[in-house]
Amino acid sequence: MNEGELLTYLRNPDNGLKKDVMMNGVQMSVMYRPADFLVAQEMAAGVADKTKLKQKYGANNYFLMSLSAEGKEAIQAATMPHYQYSELLQTVSYRLGEFIHMTTSKRDTIPLQDFAYASTFGMGTSNDVLLAFKKDTVNNPEWIQINVGEFGLGLGRQTLRFNQDDIDALPKLKMNN
């Protein structure tokens, strides 16, 4: 599949790879993000060794968390007091590991390995954060669950479960090279 077709597949709720939560006017969407997307992105930027890139990104499960309110970014200076905006910005930029972890059907807890917040300064339709968790390849869990604690947007504690079979059934991204 090309990138557009794969994105359509990922966004289709029937495929089980995107979960949505709406609470207090804030929508949180968490979508599985194949490592091949990150590989293709670096290859497009001129990094040519696909094998090394697949090794670099293949050890993790990636998820894109999007936060929106009324079709706009949920975290923006124009819609909240400065202290709240500043605190939320600090949280999504530096402290998400305190609020997000993954659990598995085998009762393993996997901390947030890394995350990257993409700031669009109020120009986007959502605040997006790429989440990375180490894959649990030893225990082969039936499902993995993203657990999100309340971090300031009024979403409360949320659990978003993804079946491993849905992840394994994901078509491969067709890449050049």
* Token digits of residue 25: 């006017």
Question: Could you list the pLDDT tens digit for every one of the 177 residues in the chain?
Answer: 899 999 999 999 999 999 999 999 999 999 999 999 888 888 888 777 888 888 888 899 999 999 999 999 999 988 899 999 999 999 999 999 999 999 999 999 999 999 999 887 767 899 999 999 998 766 789 999 999 999 999 999 999 999 999 999 999 888 765
Calpha distance 124→122 (Å, rounded)? 6
Number of domains in the chain: 1
The answer to whether 85 touches 75, Cβ cutoff 8 Å, is: yes
The reply to whether 152 falls in a domain is yes
The reply to whether 174 falls in a domain is no
pTM of the model: 0.92
Q: What is the pLDDT of residue 137?
A: 67
User: Assign residue 154 a region: left if phi > 0, alpha if psi is -120 to 50, beta otherwise?
Assistant: left
The reply to whether 176 falls in a domain is no
The reply to whether 177 falls in a domain is no
User: Assign residue 141 a region: left if phi > 0, alpha if psi is -120 to 50, beta otherwise?
Assistant: beta
Domain at 81, CATH number: 2.60.40.3340
- Full domain range(s) for residue 57: 3-168
